[in-house]
A and B are shown apart, each in its own frame.
Chain A
């Protein structure tokens, strides 16, 4: 792997111990994956924020790294934390968890990393352009950036993204290169996809088939393919498989197929498969909590929930998960009040996957997200009801 004189100096410690470590991490990853060199990236999205996920060891590492003077030198922002940093008590989070979580956020803030905690930075204006190289780590965020925006990122880990934030580079391999961004099989959608749950169910099916390959979708009806639904599709594929890039004809800015496209494997997905996939995800008839916003809600998704429950009194707890920025907009427009009046909460900075649901005491959760339906049983010990917002509430 080629290192520039500047890279070499950083590796030898001329910019300090932390920069040397960050460079060493990028060089080791580059060697492992056969990168030819390091290339500049314009932003870093860093996972590994929830205390529930990274634990005591992660907290110690981040505090030590911050204390040694680690500093991000490109726009860098965080994935959701384990709680709403202001309203954690109302969520049922314990004092001990909250203290550890706040220390993690403080360590990142000390490194100059924006503590905008969201898995959907694309909903708050963080939208890298076609062909732009970035280092993002949350699976749906990076899938959206690769697929819906045509930016370029590998599946970064929490620490590799942090190293890129500090060095402003990433090893040049994988999805940064044209030849690795070509779809290897085609999904022919022979089902009507109209609702959020349809897109999530399709994502769960295709993610399992694709594993880490790149699928290309034919015939997704553009009229129903809102950004929110496409994010749900991508998130589910990243959760049930590890799809980091997909194409949808007429929807994604890129459409690249492997050589000899006529010979590519084609898989048809029919209506009954969508129905079966939805049924398979059901493990609860009734729920204690309905959690919307996996990935984080856009303003229009919050409005949809607010309109549905306006003037009602909910029988179950409701979390509408979003970024703090979007929550503040929703508050100004009165959506938060509508939700709160019905007995629900809009929670910022966190989500149902990374919050300690089992510690709070929830056992059965209703979701409209294929990703949440995939993760909640194993990560949070939840039984699931999978449906659209109008059925859940």
Chain B
């Protein structure tokens, strides 16, 4: 399965899909040292986002969240790639400064089409994501 999307942060990466149906706040919501989600009540609370293709609707919370995404990368526990429903500036800037490929506005409902654990290749140079069925 191959879906087109809009390029937010350029690059190519492959990883396991981790779906989160709620917006994510990186400042206070993710531990920058471990990559574990610590936000209470998040659908992925307690899970690691390290190396994952992290699929979520959009970011929320403080703009300092952009720096947290950068810190995750420095600590080797950042997501491999990000796919958003509709990206906003916190995630866009964070992904770009961290060098994490990011797409948004996929042609198709990502929460129906994708399953946790599938291997996805995010090509944010040509603007598509490819998932092994």
Contact = CB atoms under 8 A, between A and B. Distances in A.
Is chain B found bound to chain A in the same assembly? yes
Contact of A157 (B9, B32, B70, B93): B93
B73 to A, nearest CB: 10
Contact of B63 (A21, A31, A55, A158): A158
A192 B127 CA distance: 58
Given A29-B89, A32-B88, A24 B10 contact: yes
A53 B64 contact: yes
B87 A160 contact: no
A56 B89 contact: no
Interface residues of B, number: 20
Interface in A144-183: 157-160
Given A29-B92, A32-B88, A61-B97, A24 B64 contact: no
A31 B8 contact: yes
A393 interface: no
> Chain A, interface size: which category?
20 to 34
A28 B9 contact: yes
A339 B58 CA distance: 50
Contacts of B97: 21, 25, 61, 65, 159
B20 interface: no
A21 B8 CA distance: 12
Interface string B72-89: 001000000000000111
B87 A32 contact: yes
A157 B67 contact: no
Given A28-B9, A31-B6, A60 B89 contact: no
The A interface, classified by DSSP as helix, strand, loop or mixed, is helix
A41 B64 CA distance: 24
A19 to B, nearest CB: 13
Given A31-B8, A159-B97, A54 B64 contact: yes
Contact of A61 (B10, B63, B70): B70
Given A21-B96, A24-B10, A60-B74, A32 B67 contact: no
A40 interface: no
A58 interface: yes
A58 B67 contact: yes
Nearest to A56: B71
A28 B68 CA distance: 19
A223 to B, nearest CB: 39
A60 B74 CA distance: 9
Interface in B53-67: 63-64, 66-67
Contacts of B32: 57
A58 B8 contact: no
B93 A55 contact: no
Interface string A34-66: 000000000000001000011111101100010
B63 to A, nearest CB: 5
Contacts of B66: 157, 159
Contacts of A65: 97
A158 B93 CA distance: 10
B11 to A, nearest CB: 10
Interface in B9-65: 9-10, 32, 63-64
Contacts of A24: 9-10, 96
Contacts of B71: 56-57, 60-61
6 contacts: A24-B9, A25-B96, A53-B64, A55-B67, A60-B74, A158-B63
